[in-house]
Amino acid sequence: MVGAMQTTTVAISGTGVWTPPNVITNEELCEAFNEFVRRDNERNADAIAAGERKPLAESSAEFIEKASGIKQRHAHDRTGLLDPDRMCPNVPDRPEDQMSVQCEYAVNAAKKTLADAGRVGEEIDMVLLAGSNLQRPYPQIAMEVQEAIGARGFAYDLMAGCSSATFPIQIACDAIRAGSATKALLVNPEMTTGHMNWRDRDSHFIFGDAATAIVLEPVSEARAGSFEILSTRLLSKFSSNIRNNGGYLNRCDPETQNAPDKLFHQQGRRVFKDVVPLASRYIKDHLGSLGLTVDQINRFWLHQANRNMNDLIMKYLLGRHATPEEAPLILDTYANTASAGSIIAFNDHHDDLPAGAVGILCSFGAGYSIGSVILRRL
Ligand code: COA
């Protein structure tokens, strides 16, 4: 006899954040950038004097904090980034028998997360590694992580820009509901300092390095204080306004292989204008699909790209400014850590919530890609 279908409800039972120990303040960043600008202008003094070239303009710590809310960022390496003649992190290649950098980031976060969930690696049977950048196509970095933590089952990488936070949550949640996995580890090793153009005044301050991880498992097995996933929703809408053309075909056109479009670049103003209304409407609709209104939500763990952006999204949603408790910001200390940002906000700002509290985790960014997860504390 076929019994009634039982739907497995899924919970986030553990979270963890790891950052490299180096920190770079806005002041340090601008000192190196401005020295690069002075040297570049000096080198090109004749062309500038002849009106053939515009002088580069300096950056300022005050502008950065006002435009973005960022005061500092963690960085894998300071030596290359702060060298005005280099302006790129120094990250020595590792031999193939050593753990790769992104795997190390993921494992550092995963260890904390497994401990938080009260789990060990071999209980995991699905590993998803997601991020805005992957250091190689194969073998998949997720599989290296799977091996390193002693997980079973299967593992794979996926990329969804900053929504690499939420896209794997929906995928893993569906897999656990369907029975194709029982316990999933999701990791976001965001070593973003590698994709930035440190010579670009418009964007040299935006990103920082961090890794996050979460564990998903059935509510029936999750530890007390876990967060039940009430609903997930994803949306993508193609746009080139945030773009990075770095990839395996670059060397096939030697003329352009090192051009700045092979690094992160964006139309920041357009992103702001497109994403703020998109994200606020999207959050409202997702909550509405469960019969929830914004005033029933105890916490908004938003993607952390820009303070002004998050402030405006919250103002559209609530009709007033949100308090720091309602929509916590972590940008000041971490900067934009791509897909790690909303997970860091969740990791750092959930302990105080009582059982029954409801929150929404929402990522948005390159793609455009948007994802949200409505959570209730158990
Ligand atoms: N230091 C000092 N001044 C700077 C500067 C810097 N580093 N960069 C730009 N400026 C100047 C510009 O020259 C411009 O001057 P002008 O008004 O005299 O022309 C002025 O500051 C405003 O520049 P603008 O590029 O329009 O800045 P902004 O206020 O739009 O802020 C972002 C830039 C990127 C912070 C903002 O567009 C943004 O947050 N966009 C959202 C997208 C995002 O964060 N994406 C991240 C990836 S998900």
- Percent of the chain beyond pLDDT 90? 98
C-alpha–C-alpha distance, residues 304 and 341, integer Å: 5
Q: How far is CA 288 from CA 278, 282, 284, 291, 297, in A?
A: 15, 10, 6, 5, 12
* pLDDT band at residue 5 using 50, 70 and 90 as cut-offs: low
Decide if pLDDT at 126 tops 70.
yes
C-alpha–C-alpha distance, residues 111 and 215, integer Å: 11
pLDDT of residue 1: 47
Percent helix, strand and coil across the chain, each rounded to 5? 35, 20, 45
pLDDT of residue 161: 96
Identify each DSSP E strand in the chain by its residue range: 10-18, 23-25, 72-74, 126-130, 154-158, 184-190, 210-218, 227-236, 242-243, 265-266, 299-302, 358-365, 369-377
Ligand 1 atom with the smallest distance to the CA of 204 is 7
**pLDDT digit string, tens, across residues 82-95:** 999 999 999 999 99
Mean pLDDT of the chain: 97
Decide if pLDDT at 241 tops 80.
yes
**pLDDT digit string, tens, across residues 50-65:** 999 999 999 999 999 9
pLDDT of residue 4: 58
**Catalytic hit among 30, 88, 103, 162:** 162
* pLDDT band at residue 266 using 50, 70 and 90 as cut-offs: very high
For ligand 1, mutation pick of 31, 34, 54, 271 (most atoms within 8 Å of CB): 271
Residue 63 alpha carbon to ligand 1 centre in Å: 8
- Name the residue type at position 143: M
Helix (H), strand (E) counts: the chain:
10, 13
C-alpha–C-alpha distance, residues 170 and 215, integer Å: 13
- Name the residue type at position 141: I
C-alpha–C-alpha distance, residues 219 and 30, integer Å: 48
Residue 268 alpha carbon to ligand 1 centre in Å: 7
pLDDT of residue 3: 53
Residue 64 near residue 325 (C-beta atoms within 8 A) = no
**Cβ contacts of residue 144 below 8 Å, gap of 6+?**
99, 100, 103
Ligand 1, atom 39: closest residue by C-alpha:
306
**pLDDT digit string, tens, across residues 312-332:** 999 999 999 999 999 999 999
